[in-house]
A and B are shown apart, each in its own frame.
Chain A
């Protein structure tokens, strides 16, 4: 017979006001298997815990039920107390009679009856609780950071500075992300490159950071503490070790009209290029679709005629390169890295108002000409036009004719807060960068005029409100509440039609330049990566944190953390704070040699398993492995399922999928559930 102790808590008056705690304790005292039953004012207090420990000794209890608040509140507390008194902590369970009873009912009789039922079910369950011990798994003390924007850079430096190795994977030829494209940054207006570049160099020179640029994560295997990462190093066709960054190849390359991604299409570059002068690594990459030599190879491969001439086309870069670093034979390479933790910092992209969209439910802006009107640009393009390193050398000249615009119209919330376009959320940073753009514009064009269409001004950060106010109060600046309903080209101006919703007056502006503050969206195709990582995303594709308040940088997958704009639109201060928070989580994890995990994992009853692997199909984490059962002579008898406890997350999906119920979830076994259903 079981010897279970029942401890009913009054929680001061919180429970006792509606539940007759003494009656609940009395009712349970007679229940079979209950050895001791009592009630007390505050079970979680020191005297309360002592009462439990004392009674456990006195009555030689082999199970404890505490009827009090939610287990989310105090399960750890009571399990610890029970453990201190010498019993396995998993022999202790809580019944929630506060949140799930006393606080939501007024009728004392009904609440008392319900409490009694709930406690009885827990008592029955505890009879089947097994002593469990935490699972220990070894940890590889290295971290992977995916994405080399400011978030990834900060996380990599924090972790490496604390003494752990970091593998940083960036898909572009250089790290830096969007911050490297910005001119000045709000709210202090310091030059973006000036504060970012030193950190990029730190990354390059850090002895504990391995940088894989122009690379992507191909596969993720394993689990917290023990991830195996396969990284695809895309063919750069320039040997990173030989190249001395002299730039002679770029001088020699005859293709010069390729739109530069870094300049958001406003400047040009060569086929062999570094995205920008301060790139890290400062090693060029050859752009396959545009390189004359590679194009000629592809053409030759396609045509059926025998190779007309053996003479290589172009290859001027090869001739120009002193250290012979250019290698047209180079192909994609796969490298593997072992890490214990992962930080995802893949950032964002800007919404494109064009007709073609990559997701259903998202539409472009036909009323703004689907992005085809010249002199209608987005925020990043404006940043490039303002940047000293930009295509115009920092002079504001509009794309169509190079004239200095006198009147600029800024439209906020393009795509944001607009369910009709598919994105109902606020992009968070546009109010601030538009204010910044206004100030930058006024700084460059003193007597220029700026009109800003806005919905609300959201500037809640430190020093942000004065910053936006400063922009609004600049002479020649007008903030209009409302959306522009239409814009089109009219001679050499752009006509912007709209309504000022505060005065209800129609407005019709002849603008020289229009800047759209387009929505912040997750990186294109990011679901490929989140699937590999088992990280869930919201319906826009922003990654989900484990808990919006209490676990903002963790994900539901143990060992995977989030930093920066991949989780939601964020500005640089928030991004950096989040990156440092994620790093501290990573460091806490990597500071140990072994990891203890809750033993809530599945376990196969090998003798009865039929090897149908329904469980394997149900398991999202790939925790189910195949185990061969052999006879004495080593002949294979059967193949059965086995759960890798390091990978198993304890959801129990496999259990419900197993038709003959021969896989059990520890802590939620059939026996335990059956017993509580029988009793409730």
Chain B
């Protein structure tokens, strides 16, 4: 902890960055912290409740951070995959940012959780995570951690859904999507949803109906999932942010499985690997084509 606070203080004092984005204790659990003055650095913490993917704050779209263009951000191993996508998509310049990597042994599903990590409480993305030390970072901090406990619920749920009939699956999703209130919180937290003007806000023409009813909601969630295929890094922030509890992680994980199976692509921290959509192989399988 001290190590992290000292580093943050030094980066600010030396004028290397304008802001350090990390985690601090909030009124209810851990919350993101925006440290702009060296004396605030002592508030920074890192533990199993640091679930947020702070890479989302690197996007220039976060207008409220525009006053602090040079940013340092605390990242876990999985978060650097989002950095890689942003680099790949020319969204950030590596020189403009400082990545503070923390050795990680898994986080809870909720920032408000307490107690040790268990198979029950561990976040889905940690279940099969093997990155104890984040790559791509400028500073690597923290003590070595043991691997997080396993949990296969997300995969099980996907399997369960897949074993249903089309009608049952549609029922399931209709029920989920009909609750969507189109708050777009899922989009706000997503590091990949950085578009200047989201397709959902395009008015000429309005592809996605804007009022919160099943048809528009389905269109919205379907198209957002499409936009994240091969780009989603699996941080699960959208599902966590959704106020009505739509399991968006299921959709994104499913499409991540699809691009893995068919295009041999997995979310990676290597920005040089081309994304699976936008590239192609001339011998991609096409058994679904007549």
Using a CB–CB distance below 8 Å, which chain A residues touch chain B?
607-614, 617-618, 638-639, 657, 659-662, 670-671, 674-675
Contacts and interface: CB of A to CB of B under 8 A. Distances in A.
Contact of A660 (B89, B198, B274, B277): B198
B172 interface: no
Output the residue of B91, B197, B204, B207 with the most chain A CB within 10 A: B197
Contact of A610 (B91, B204, B205, B279): B91
Interface in B160-219: 194-199, 202, 204-205, 207
B197 A617 contact: no
B278 A617 contact: yes
Contacts of A670: 202, 204-205, 207
24 contacts: A607-B196, A608-B195, A608-B196, A608-B197, A610-B61, A610-B91, A610-B194, A610-B195, A610-B196, A617-B274, A617-B278, A617-B279, A657-B277, A659-B199, A659-B227, A660-B195, A660-B196, A660-B202, A661-B207, A662-B196, A670-B204, A670-B205, A671-B204, A671-B205
A660 B91 CA distance: 15
A675 B205 CA distance: 8
Nearest to B202: A661
Given A617-B279, A659-B227, A674-B205, A639 B90 contact: yes
Contacts of B90: 611-613, 639
A111 to B, nearest CB: 26
Contacts of B278: 614, 617-618, 657
B207 A659 contact: no
Contacts of B277: 657
Contacts of B195: 608, 610, 612, 659-660
B89 A613 contact: yes
Contacts of A607: 196-197
A639 B90 CA distance: 9
Contacts of B204: 670-671
B236 to A, nearest CB: 20
Nearest to B201: A660
- Give 6 nearest A-B pairs by CB, closest first: A674-B205, A608-B197, A660-B195, A617-B278, A612-B89, A610-B196
Contacts of A675: 205
Output the residue of A608, A609, A612, A614 with the most chain B CB within 10 A: A612
A671 B91 CA distance: 28
B188 to A, nearest CB: 15
Given A613-B89, A662-B202, A671-B205, 5 more contacts: A607-B196, A607-B197, A610-B195, A670-B205, A674-B205
Contact of B196 (A609, A613, A614, A618): A609
Given A617-B274, A660-B198, A611 B227 contact: no
Interface string B110-135: 00000000000000000000000000
Contacts of B89: 612-614
Contacts of B275: 617
B207 A611 contact: no
Given A611-B90, A674-B205, A662 B197 contact: yes
Contacts of B61: 610
A608 B90 CA distance: 16
A665 to B, nearest CB: 14
Contacts of B197: 607-608, 660, 662
A612 to B, nearest CB: 4
Contacts of A660: 195-199, 202
A674 B199 CA distance: 14
Contacts of A613: 89-90
Contacts of B205: 670-671, 674-675
A657 B229 CA distance: 12
Contact of B207 (A614, A638, A674): A674
B35 to A, nearest CB: 26
Contacts of A638: 60
Contacts of B279: 617
Contacts of B274: 617
A62 B205 CA distance: 21
A618 B280 CA distance: 10
B91 A611 contact: yes
Nearest to A617: B278
B24 to A, nearest CB: 30
A637 to B, nearest CB: 9
B92 to A, nearest CB: 11
A77 B207 CA distance: 34
Nearest to B61: A610
A661 B60 CA distance: 19
Contacts of A608: 195-197
A492 B205 CA distance: 82
A607 B201 CA distance: 14
A614 B227 CA distance: 11
B191 to A, nearest CB: 13
Contacts of B199: 659-661
A58 to B, nearest CB: 32
Contacts of B202: 660-662, 670
Contacts of B196: 607-610, 660, 662
A638 B197 CA distance: 14
Output the residue of A614, A671, A675 with the most chain B CB within 10 A: A614
Nearest to B278: A617
A609 B91 CA distance: 12
A302 to B, nearest CB: 34
B55 to A, nearest CB: 15
A563 to B, nearest CB: 26
A618 to B, nearest CB: 6
A675 B206 CA distance: 11
A639 B205 CA distance: 25
Nearest to A613: B90
Output the residue of A613, A659, A661, A670 with the most chain B CB within 10 A: A659
Output the residue of B60, B198, B205 with the most chain A CB within 10 A: B205
Nearest to B193: A659
Nearest to B197: A608
Interface in B84-101: 89-91
A602 B227 CA distance: 21
